[in-house]
Structure 1
Amino acid sequence: MRVVMLGAPGSGKGTQAKQLVQTYGVPQLSTGDLLRAAVKAASPVGLRAKAAMDAGKLVSDDIVLGLIEERLDGPQGLRDFILDGFPRNLAQAEALGALLNRLGLPLQAAILIDVSAEELKRRIAGRRTCRDCGAIYNVYTAPSATEGVCDLCDGETFQRSDDNETTVAQRLATYEAETAPLIGYYRERGLLHSVPGEQPVEAIFAALRAIVDGLA
């Protein structure tokens, strides 16, 4: 299984990706996790990334692609993976495709969790986070048993400052401008699979499993 998960902030793609990891035992490649591991290991790409961060710069696309290549290349490299959060734009998608083809690991599918803009705004605005353990709830879709109290540790739940309506609208606008074009990109290449995201979590995952089980 070599797939990219697509979906706007609040679509639930991260949750579904974790369920795929648990069910199929396929690692999820998070660029943040790869970056931290490479810096800790002081690998060549990790040293470049650390230099950029120490200088207060963003980690460039070529460094991120280098991190992915480090994880996939060689005898101990991964043959299967789930990418969530990368690529974020067309240039990254082109570069990722070239890298994977060069490694003989072409992408098998891009899976979109499709949710309307209005539902996304509602979900994100309804999100609550525990101050103590970081558990996440949603007042509309997955509330804690007692409002304002975490089920796991009894800590206080709160709404993050970037989950307000104004910030949510800005995040969705950025997604539409930069990331949404990936849908057409992967559709043109015959890789896109779309799953309606406004249904129970179990139904979404069943649809995902049908897609994954059908991959060659």
Structure 2
Amino acid sequence: MTNLVLFGPPGAGKGTQAEVLKEKYDLVHISTGDVFRYNIKNATELGTLAKSYIDKGQLVPDTVTIDMLSAEVEKNADAKGFIFDGFPRTEAQADALATLLASKNTEVAGMVALEVDDEVLVQRLLERGKTSGRADDADEDVIRNRIKVYYAETAILKGYYEKQDKYHGVDGVGSIEEITARLSDVIDTL
């Protein structure tokens, strides 16, 4: 089973690459944001619990997030592997993911991070903002803050996976096909 943690700053192309890799390697793409939205929209027990924290402006506890992801993994018990997108974000979440996967007799094969220069990210997101309708992609100050938060949050995880020889940085600049080829070169060695 191939389990990947896909990382990269906002605008790096994670969503695009996750879709391509999902098809190429027959993996299940689990986007934390999508899982949260689904559970909240469908008022599942976990969604209702998560919403109670969100409505108070609080972070959803790791246990709730892990329970949601565990349910997604269970739904896809026959999968050849998973692409985790937007998770883990903390060492505690990375440990919890390792425990969850160990219970399925598998593990994270690698963290693959798309690396893109900040100025390229800003331009990509401003372009996306013109067509996406996403307010957070239209304001350069908001974009720069999102990028700053990403680096502050994920620096810990880079070190976490580097200690296990599972961190792989990949140049995220070029055509979709070029970036996919670079990612595939890494994934094929895992």
User: Once the two structures are superposed, what CA deviation does each residue of 1:92-150 show, in whole Å capped at 9, x if it has no partner?
Assistant: 222222222233121101101111122222222222354xxxxx4xxxxxxxxxxxxxx
RMSD: 2.6
**Counterpart Cα distance in 1 of 2:141 and 2:108:** 36
2:106 is matched with: 105
In structure 2, the residue corresponding to 1:91 is in which secondary structure?
helix
Displacement after TM superposition at 1:169 (Å): 1.5
**Counterpart Cα distance in 1 of 2:163 and 2:134:** 39
Displacement after TM superposition at 1:90 (Å): 2.5
CA contact under 8 A between 1:6 and 1:113: conserved in structure 2? yes
2:172 is the alignment partner of 1:202:
no
Where do residues 67-216 of structure 1 align in structure 2 (5 Å cutoff)?
67-73=68-74, 76=77, 78-130=79-131, 136=132, 160=135, 162-215=137-190
CA contact under 8 A between 1:73 and 1:103: conserved in structure 2? no
1:49 is aligned with what amino acid? G
Structure of higher RCO (CA pairs closer than 8 Å, 6+ residues apart): 2
In structure 1, the residue corresponding to 2:159 is in which secondary structure?
helix
**Counterpart Cα distance in 2 of 1:79 and 1:159:** 33
CA contact under 8 A between 2:6 and 2:85: conserved in structure 1? yes
2:47 is aligned with what amino acid? A
User: Once the two structures are superposed, what CA deviation does each residue of 1:142-168 show, in whole Å capped at 9, x if it has no partner?
Assistant: xxxxxxxxxxxxxxxx67354311111
User: Structure 1: where are the runs of 5+ without partners?
Assistant: 131-135, 137-157
Per the alignment, do residues 12 and 63 of structure 1 end up closer, same or farther by CA in structure 2, a change over 3 Å counting?
same
> How many residues are matched?
186
Of structures 1 and 2, the larger Rg is shown by 1
Per the alignment, do residues 77 and 62 of structure 1 end up closer, same or farther by CA in structure 2, a change over 3 Å counting?
farther
Displacement after TM superposition at 1:74 (Å): 8.3
Instruction: Give % identity.
Output: 34
More divergent stretch after superposition (13-22 vs 24-33): 24-33
Displacement after TM superposition at 1:191 (Å): 0.7
Per the alignment, do residues 99 and 168 of structure 1 end up closer, same or farther by CA in structure 2, a change over 3 Å counting?
same
Per the alignment, do residues 47 and 210 of structure 1 end up closer, same or farther by CA in structure 2, a change over 3 Å counting?
same
1:51 is matched with: 49
User: Structure 2: where are the runs of 5+ without partners?
Assistant: none
Displacement after TM superposition at 1:8 (Å): 0.6
2:64 is aligned with what amino acid? I
2:53 is the alignment partner of 1:63:
no
CA contact under 8 A between 1:71 and 1:78: conserved in structure 2? no
**Counterpart Cα distance in 1 of 2:103 and 2:16:** 30
Give TM-score, length-normalised by structure 1: 0.74
In structure 2, the residue corresponding to 1:194 is in which secondary structure?
strand
